[in-house]
Structures are given as structure tokens and as C-alpha cells.
Amino acid sequence: MTPILTITGLKKRFGDRELLNIDEFSLEPAHSYVLAGPNGAGKTTLLRILSGLETCEIASASFLGKPVSLSPYPRMLRNEIVYVHQHPVMFSSSIAENIGYGLRSRGVPKAEFKALVEESMQWAGVEHLRGHKPNTLSGGEKQRVALARARVLKPKVLLLDEPTSSLDGAAKEQVIELIPSLAREGCSVLIASHDADLINLSGSTRLVLRNGRIESL
Amino acid sequence: MEISAAIREAFVLLFTGDAELWRIIWVSIKTSIISLLIASPFAILAGYLMASFRFPGRKILIWLTQVSLSFPTVLIGLMLYLLLSRQGPLGSFHWLFSQKGIIAGQVLIGLPVLVAFTLACVQAADPRLAETSVTLGASRFRVMMTVLKEVRFGVMAAIINGFGRILSEVGCALMVGGNIARETRTITTAIALETSKGEFAQGIALGILLIAVALVINGVLMLIQGEAHTSGVAL
């Protein structure tokens, strides 16, 4: 099967320090990956590079077998790869408008917009938050709204940065329960995390970022 | 004249509906609002771009913006006078001693305030706002509109401060406008004139009106800001 995304010869330096030096790395379609590693190993930086928020040196990259550039980051990748921050930020509009933000950028018609947002709200279990102001949401609710906001775009690749880092108990479980369904829907999910519950997520491939290189666990 | 007598006479002037007085107020409000409407879009765009992007000369531009905050308005008036005078490079516009000249000066006076405040509030905005917008596929224009919407209270503060500087300036309006009765006489230039003639009542009346105009317009801007004034911690 053709990988969704393949990168070779990726290097990232901050001054004299070489943070990432990845020979080859690829993501298979409809599969989840958990990327572990110590603090400062470069997990977030890698996710940000893959989502076009950081630049890097790279030998080559391909998306669905076709060569692409990561710097400058093409519009096509922007539509297919979505990144969710460790602590997602909400826009000061309604919850539905937050979830549909990317749909508006894509010019999705009004009727379809409502249906897609509604479906994604139900998927994330946040339909009861409809009337809430985004700044009143808890960390777990924000994370689920952010997941719904990314998932509604049906991206081929979803990059989740420590999605459970500030959550505990039920809030964490609710977020973890959503992740396998993303892969089942055909999305390739790359999660950067320290969380043992996520690292042991069934059906996912466990990777570790150590000394700038990605290794299988 | 005693201060108390001057104030009493000022209120009489205000409440007898002196036509000359209302003409002065109208010129002040009209020129200030037009110049604010002209300056704001450019300044907000410039402030956003300077805060969001790295480009050659950016630091110099920020430095110049901050320096121009402390330019005396009379100096801006002098430069504009030289530009707009008959022999000046913009003399063919015939804007000297006209409301257009006053508006040009007020735009130049308001721009740095608006740019500096917008720059500061966009720089202080959470960088995840723009990043989230970008990663959800927004165009550059939509990213800008999203960020500006999120920092709207700061942008409104920029507009309020810009308006305050424009409305209260006197040096430039005096030099470029010429303080011509019923044409280019603004509240501040009229205060200067009346005070120099010893007409303190007229000066105080105009001063009260200047404060009233500032209160009303800032009140309207606060209403537009809405929730910014209802948030905060109850003490």
C-alpha cells in the first residue's frame, strides 16, 4: 500500500543543536502512530514541520506517492494535514462556528456545513456544549471540540500534540476513545505523547524519538 | 473674569444654541471622524503586518512608528504646510487652509497611534490563534481577520486612542487649517483663539464641549467593544 506521507533526510537545527535527523519516516493510511520520547526530544517540532508551521532541511517528501515540498508548504497539503495543539485554542465564536471554521475556509455550502458540523459534534460528544461560550470549556471539552474541528475536514493525516497531557480521569478516557475511530474512518493519526494510556493504544504503532531519530518501540 | 463667572457664561453659551459654536463642533467631529476612517484601515493592516511577518526593514519601521508617536503635532503641521503651500510639491491640491488639509494632518497624526497600538495587541495575541487558523486551511486574509477579531478589544483601544489624539490636537489644525471661522475652525483652535482674546467663557464652553464629544464617542466605542467591559474578576 502506498504510504500517505513519506519523508527522507529531514534535519532540523536550532543554532548549533541538531534536534532532528530523520533518515526516513512514513505514515500508512488509516493507521495510528504514537510517538513517544523525552521532553525536548523534538516531537512537537516534528509535528509542526509536518503541518507546515516550522521549516526544516529535507531531502525529499512525498504525499500519496507524489513528490511534495514541505517548505514552502503547498495548499494541497494544508487541505489534507491538520495539526491540533497540545492546548487547543478556541476562537471567540460559537462552538459550532469553531468546529466549522475550516469548512468555511473551504467554502462548504450552508446546508452541508450544518450537517457536517452537527455530525462532528455528535462524534465528539460535544452537542450539549452548543450554547456554551468557548472560553468556559474545560480542558477535556476544548480538546474534544478541537478534535471535532479537525475531523470535520476529513483530513488524510491528523497530527495530535499531547492530546491528553493536561487531562485526567473521564476527560482523558473520552479523548482516547475518539482516536481509534479516526483511523477507522481512513485518517492516518500521528500522536506525540508521554501518556502510557496513549502509548499502549491498541492497534497503533509505537515509535520513539531519541537523539533526533525515530525508532520503533 | 473670575473662573466661576466664566464657567456660568460658558453654560449659557452652550444652552442658548449659539450657531457659531455648533458649526465649530461640527467641523471638529466631521474632520476627526473622516480622518479616523481614512487612517484606521491602513494603520490596522500595517500594524498587523508588522507584528505578524518578518521582512527587511521591519525593525526600522517599528522604530519610526514609535518615534513618530512623540512628534509634536505642530511639527507635522509645519511639514504639511510646506508640502501644501502654493510653492510646495502638493500645492496643486489647494488643500492649505481647508478641511481637506486638516484631515490630511489628522490622518498623519492618528496613523502612528493606530499602528503602534495594533502592533502591540497583535504581538501580544496567542500565536496559536494564527497557527490554528492556518492549519485549518484559512487564507492569509482570513487568518488576519481571525486574529484581528480575537484582539478586537486592543484594536478598539487603538481606535479610541487614535481618535483622542486627532480630536485633541491643535498645532497642525491651526497651521494647515488657518482657523478660518465657519470653515476650518475646530474646537481646539477656537479655544486657542478665544483664550488669546481673553474670552475665557467661550474657551471654557468649547473645552466642556470637547470633553462631552470625547465622552460620547468613547461611550459609543465602548458599547461596540461590548463584553470587554463586563469581563474581569469581581473584587
Q: What is the pLDDT of residues B108-158, one digit of tens each?
A: 999 999 999 999 999 999 999 999 999 999 999 999 999 999 999 899 989
The answer to whether A206 and A216 are in contact (CB under 8 A) is: yes
Would you place residue B228 in the very low, low, confident or very high pLDDT band (cuts 50, 70, 90)? low
Percent of chain B residues past pLDDT 70, beyond the cut: 94
| The pLDDT of residue B1 is above 70 | no
Mean pLDDT score, A150-170 = 92
| The pLDDT of residue B216 is above 90 | no
Q: What is the CA radius of gyration of chain B?
A: 20
**Cβ B137–A102 below 8 Å, yes or no?**
yes
Domain B8-224 has CATH 1.10.3720.10: yes
- Coil vs helix vs strand at A137: coil
Q: What is the pLDDT of residue B198?
A: 87
Q: What is the pLDDT of residue B233?
A: 58
Average pLDDT of the residues of chain A? 93
Give the ranges where chain A is alpha helix by DSSP (H). Answer: 43-50, 75-80, 95-99, 101-105, 110-124, 139-151, 169-184, 196-199
Burial of residue A152 (CB within 10 Å: 0-12, 13-18, 19+) is buried
Show the cell assigned to A62.
Answer: 512525498
> CA of A101: which chain B residue's CA is closest?
B136
Q: What is the pLDDT of residues A165-215, one digit of tens each?
A: 878 788 888 899 999 999 999 999 999 998 888 888 888 999 999 999 998
The answer to whether A85 and A51 are in contact (CB under 8 A) is: no
| The pLDDT of residue B232 is above 70 | no
- Coil vs helix vs strand at A60: strand
Greater model confidence, B171 or B225: B171
Element (H, E) at B71: none
- Report the predicted TM-score, pTM, of the whole model to 2 decimal places: 0.89
The answer to whether B213 and B18 are in contact (CB under 8 A) is: no
Q: CB-based contacts of B17: which residues, under 8 Å, 6+ apart?
A: none
Chain A residues with CB-CB distance to B under 8 A?
Answer: 51-53, 78-79, 81-83, 85, 87-89, 91-92, 101-102, 104-106, 149-150, 153
Q: What is the pLDDT of residue A139?
A: 92
Q: What is the pLDDT of residues B45-61, one digit of tens each?
A: 999 999 999 999 999 99
Mean pLDDT score, A33-41 = 92
Mean pLDDT score, B170-190 = 94
> CA of A78: which chain B residue's CA is closest?
B137
Q: What is the pLDDT of residues A96-151, one digit of tens each?
A: 999 999 999 999 999 999 999 999 999 999 999 988 999 899 999 999 999 999 99
**Cβ A78–B137 below 8 Å, yes or no?**
yes
| The pLDDT of residue B6 is above 80 | no
Average pLDDT of the residues of chain B? 90
The answer to whether A24 and A59 are in contact (CB under 8 A) is: no
> CA of B138: which chain A residue's CA is closest?
A105
Name the residue ranges covered by the structural domains of chain B.
8-224
Task: Name the residue among B131, B136, B149 with its Cβ closest to that of A105.
Answer: B136
Q: What is the pLDDT of residue A46?
A: 96
Residues in chain B closer than 8 A to A85 (CB atoms): 128, 131-132
Q: What is the pLDDT of residue B235?
A: 59
Show the cell assigned to A89.
Answer: 485554542
Class of domain A29-54+72-216: alpha beta
* ipTM for the predicted complex: 0.94
Distance CA A171, CA B140 (A): 34
Task: Name the residue among B129, B136, B150 with its Cβ closest to that of A82.
Answer: B136
Measured in residues, chain B has a length of 235
Q: What pairing do the DSSP bridges indicate for beta strands A60-63 and A213-216? A: unpaired
Distance CA A146, CA A143 (A): 5
Task: Name the residue among A53, A105, A149 with its Cβ closest to that of B139.
Answer: A105
